[in-house]
Amino acid sequence: MTRFYRPDRIEYEVVVLDRQTGISHWATAGVDVVERPQALVDGGGSMSSEAFRSYAASVAPRLRDFAEHISGADQVGANVHRYQSYQAVRAVLRDERGVLLAEVRCDGSVTIPGELDEDLRRQFIGMINGWLPMTIREVDRSSYQNALASLVKARRVVDAMLREVVGLAAGGLDPMPWEKVAAAMGVPPEALDSWYRAPDGLAK
């Protein structure tokens, strides 16, 4: 079923450490109101999933400017410092009721609760039905270079899928507690924290 979106505002958030609990969380540091003509498709209707994803991705340049502004990275000019500042911010698109519609990161990646990225979906299906089964044949032929290349490619796709599904589980419309996400993956919560919250992890 086709989903439609009508964003009302863009919240720019930064990671803040609670010194009493030692837990990091997202805090809103700025808000942009979405102009209605810009947010709606021709005819005044709501945006389709594809149009909304493109619109959300267009927020990334503003998010990078926000990251550099609050961190002073533009003055320091250090690539490492700039990279770190990019991981500590995100943009959240919400509707007029405050429901989270999408999360945007500085690299232009967009996570929409309850919706798997279409490109990643195609890559994953193509991997399973296409080139990954051929890896066994490459090993049997002693073509280890090709086999290793296929396995590394598969690992990248699986890692991307894992990150996407963790985001859907922990940040969806009916989010799973972080501890349950960790239990489902068979790892302790602190391990999940290190993988997905530092330096560029997901929030609860």
| pLDDT tens readout for residues 10-24 | 999 998 877 777 777
Say whether both 28 and 101 belong to one domain: yes
Say whether both 123 and 98 belong to one domain: no
- What pLDDT, on a 0 to 100 scale, did the predictor assign at position 18? 75
- What pLDDT, on a 0 to 100 scale, did the predictor assign at position 145? 93
Say whether both 80 and 140 belong to one domain: no
Q: What is the mean pLDDT of residues 69-91?
A: 69
How many domains is the chain partitioned into structurally?
2
Say whether both 81 and 127 belong to one domain: no
Per-residue pLDDT for 204 more than 90? no
Say whether both 23 and 78 belong to one domain: yes
Say whether both 86 and 141 belong to one domain: no
Q: Are 60 and 20 in contact (CB under 8 A)?
A: no
Say whether both 90 and 8 belong to one domain: yes
DSSP secondary structure code for residue 173 in this structure: S
Residue 150 forms beta bridges with which residues?
A: none
Q: Which amino acid is at 102?
A: A
Q: Which of 91, 112, 133 is the last residue of a domain?
A: 112
Say whether both 139 and 78 belong to one domain: no
Structure tokens at 133: 């089964």
Torsion of the alpha carbons at 106, 111, 112 and 116, rounded to the nearest 10: 150
Q: Are 111 and 167 in contact (CB under 8 A)?
A: yes
Q: What pLDDT digit, counting tens, does each position of 99-153 carry?
A: 888 999 998 888 887 777 778 888 899 899 888 888 999 999 999 999 999 999 9
Say whether both 35 and 78 belong to one domain: yes
Domain that holds residue 26: 1-112
Taking the CB of residue 50, how many other CB atoms lie within 10 A of it?
10
Say whether both 106 and 17 belong to one domain: yes
Say whether both 55 and 21 belong to one domain: yes
Q: Which of 112, 128, 162 is the last residue of a domain?
A: 112
Torsion of the alpha carbons at 108, 113, 119 and 122, rounded to the nearest 10: 160
Per-residue pLDDT for 73 more than 60? no
Say whether both 171 and 127 belong to one domain: yes
- What pLDDT, on a 0 to 100 scale, did the predictor assign at position 203? 38
Helical H segments across the chain, by residue range: 36-39, 49-57, 60-71, 73-76, 79-87, 118-126, 134-140, 144-171, 178-185, 189-196
Q: Which of 82, 112, 142 is the last residue of a domain?
A: 112
| Rounded percentage of the chain residues whose pLDDT exceeds 70 | 82
Average pLDDT, the chain: 80
